[in-house]
């Protein structure tokens, strides 16, 4: 990589951190806990990726009470249904299914489109470049990945990262529906057009719909409709890395924070 490219990447990186407020996270201060106890961070794989992240991880405890029950439901669904799922043709090309991860009792849930190459290899959502950016966005909100829940519309990687077909989305939908029903987040942030269209059953484009509150009304739950904030997908943001786009995403996330009573890290 030449110096010009290296400097440009470094400048963009610093600018992302500035815009999402990451540089303002005070080292050693715990983030406000959203939801209940975060699941245990046991190994390097699940550990936070940098020192800024490490500074905002809440005390690590095993989930209790309602959180433990939710965890069991999610683990059962993953182990007994999703991992062996052959309901659509994506099962033939996948390496791993990608169920979702995070706090089963999270107040904030992110919903993306579907696994890419890295996610397919590791069996975890948002672990590639887009995932790194999503992690930064979460940290900028004063949280860690372990305090939110992250899932996708489809649980298997579409070949060449193509958009999942309507049949694939429909076939997989019941898993996400039940994940949301179990977790009962207070706010959902849908990232990108396909996730937003599916969740909100709309044909509106992400550019026009982002930044405004919508509702997902989970059938058969007592909790009532869940507010949904659509925003740009981090992969789009990486492709179209303008100050304007980053400011839009940050403003969408700030709306979600306000709804959850979160304040920016000082």
Q: Is the dihedral of CA 183, 172, 196, 148 positive or negative?
A: positive
Closest C-alpha among 139, 68, 151, 80 to residue 104: 68
Q: Which is nearer to ligand URA, 118 or 254 (by Cβ)? A: 118
* Shortest CB 166 distance to ligand URA, Å: 17
Q: Does 100 bind ligand URA (CB under 6 A)?
A: no
Q: Does 158 bind ligand URA (CB under 6 A)?
A: no
Whole-angstrom distance, CA of residue 104 vs CA of residue 183: 6
The answer to whether 99 and 76 are in contact (CB under 8 A) is: no
Closest residue to ligand URA in the complex (CB)? 112
Q: Which is nearer to ligand URA, 130 or 176 (by Cβ)? A: 130
Q: Does 126 bind ligand URA (CB under 6 A)?
A: yes
Measured between its terminal Cα atoms, the distance across the chain in Å is 35
Whole-angstrom distance, CA of residue 208 vs CA of residue 69: 38
Q: Which is nearer to ligand URA, 29 or 207 (by Cβ)? A: 207
Q: Does 265 bind ligand URA (CB under 6 A)?
A: no
Among 35, 104, 114, 193, which residue sits at the site for ligand URA (rule: CB under 6 A)? 114
Candidates 81-89, 111-119, 219-227, 248-256 — which segment interacts with ligand URA by CB under 6 A?
Answer: 111-119
Whole-angstrom distance, CA of residue 103 vs CA of residue 207: 29
Q: Which is nearer to ligand URA, 29 or 240 (by Cβ)? A: 240
Candidates 68-76, 78-86, 122-130, 139-147 — which segment interacts with ligand URA by CB under 6 A?
Answer: 122-130
Q: Does 230 bind ligand URA (CB under 6 A)?
A: no
Among 78, 101, 113, 252, which residue sits at the site for ligand URA (rule: CB under 6 A)? 113
Backbone angles phi, psi at 128, to 5 degrees: -90, -155
Whole-angstrom distance, CA of residue 120 vs CA of residue 125: 8
Q: Does 152 bind ligand URA (CB under 6 A)?
A: yes
The answer to whether 111 and 152 are in contact (CB under 8 A) is: yes
Q: Does 185 bind ligand URA (CB under 6 A)?
A: no
Q: Which residues bind ligand URA (CB under 6 A)?
A: 112-116, 119, 125-126, 130-131, 152, 235
């Amino acid at each position: 990589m030449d110096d010009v490219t290296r400097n440009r990447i470094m400048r963009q990186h610093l600018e992302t951190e500035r815009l999402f407020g990451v540089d303002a996270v005070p080292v050693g201060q715990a983030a406000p806990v959203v939801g209940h106890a975060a699941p245990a961070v046991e190994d390097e794989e699940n550990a936070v990726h940098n020192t800024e992240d490490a500074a905002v991880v809440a005390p690590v405890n095993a989930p209790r009470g309602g959180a433990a029950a939710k965890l069991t439901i999610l683990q059962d669904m993953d182990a007994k249904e999703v991992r062996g799922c052959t309901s659509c043709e994506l099962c033939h090309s996948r390496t791993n299914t990608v169920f979702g991860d995070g706090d089963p009792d999270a107040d904030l849930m992110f919903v993306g489109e579907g696994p890419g190459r890295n996610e397919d290899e590791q069996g975890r959502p948002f672990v590639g470049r887009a995932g790194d950016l999503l992690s930064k966005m979460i940290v900028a909100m004063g949280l860690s990945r372990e305090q939110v829940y992250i899932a996708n519309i489809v649980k298997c990687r579409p070949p060449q990262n193509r958009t999942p077909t309507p049949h694939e989305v429909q076939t997989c939908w019941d898993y996400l529906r039940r994940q949301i029903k179990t977790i009962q987040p207070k706010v959902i942030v849908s990232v990108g057009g396909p996730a937003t269209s599916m969740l909100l059953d709309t044909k509106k484009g992400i550019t026009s719909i982002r930044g405004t509150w919508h509702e997902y009304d989970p059938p058969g739950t007592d909790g009532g409709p869940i507010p949904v904030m659509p925003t740009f997908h981090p992969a789009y943001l990486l492709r179209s890395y303008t100050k304007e786009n980053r400011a839009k995403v940050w403003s969408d996330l700030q709306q979600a924070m306000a709804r959850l009573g979160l304040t920016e890290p000082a």
